[in-house]
Amino acid sequence: MQTTALQPGFFHTGFIGLFAGVITAFFTFDLAVYLLTATAFFFMFRKARVPLPWLAYVPVAQLYPFFKTIKVSQWNWLWLAAPVFGSLAILALHAFGIVLCIFGCIVYAVVGIRWLIRLLQAYGINPLWLLGLLGLLIPFLSYLVSIGLVVLYCIMGFSASIQYNPNFDRRDGSGGDPFHFS
């Protein structure tokens, strides 16, 4: 009996093909989720009558209509640089840099939660829904929390029953902002 030998590199080529297929599938899924989220934000920005709502599709520029919607200063984008500066501090300051990096990441998380609270309040949704973010601390549950946020953004953007309240940040009782951060 004659046996056929596998060609050299057969497993290597198959592994590369499998790897490329998995990467392509993940990229396609991520792109679809990004477009869905950006479209939900586009509709939220249109409800808020913010100028240039199409910027929801541009990764960094989407902060402009987002900050207009939640009524915070455009300079808030600098908070996004806190972890970056902390990481650079690690290179220069070593142990103290690690502390600065951790502090920068905590500041980034707190500011991000603040922005989400204001976004939910702007559309009349109870900020207690953000308690679901605690699921980010539990492995495997964090995927469900991420999906839940995308679903919440879609509900806020696509639902005709959820409207933008331009007075959400008033302190005279008409806006209902119990978590006011100036």
CA separation for the pair 33, 47 (Å, rounded) = 21
Both structure tokens of 3: 């046996």
pLDDT in tens, the chain (182 residues): 566 555 555 556 677 888 888 899 999 999 999 999 999 999 999 999 999 999 999 998 999 999 999 998 888 888 877 777 777 777 777 777 777 778 878 888 888 889 999 999 999 888 887 777 777 777 777 777 888 889 999 999 999 999 999 888 876 555 544 444 44
Domain definitions of the chain by residue range: 54-182
Q: Which helix H or strand E contains 94, and what residues bound it?
A: none
pTM: 0.77
Place of tokens 């469900």: 144
CA separation for the pair 123, 70 (Å, rounded) = 10
Residues recorded for the chain: 182
Place of tokens 């920068």: 104
Q: What pLDDT, on a 0 to 100 scale, did the predictor assign at position 33? A: 92
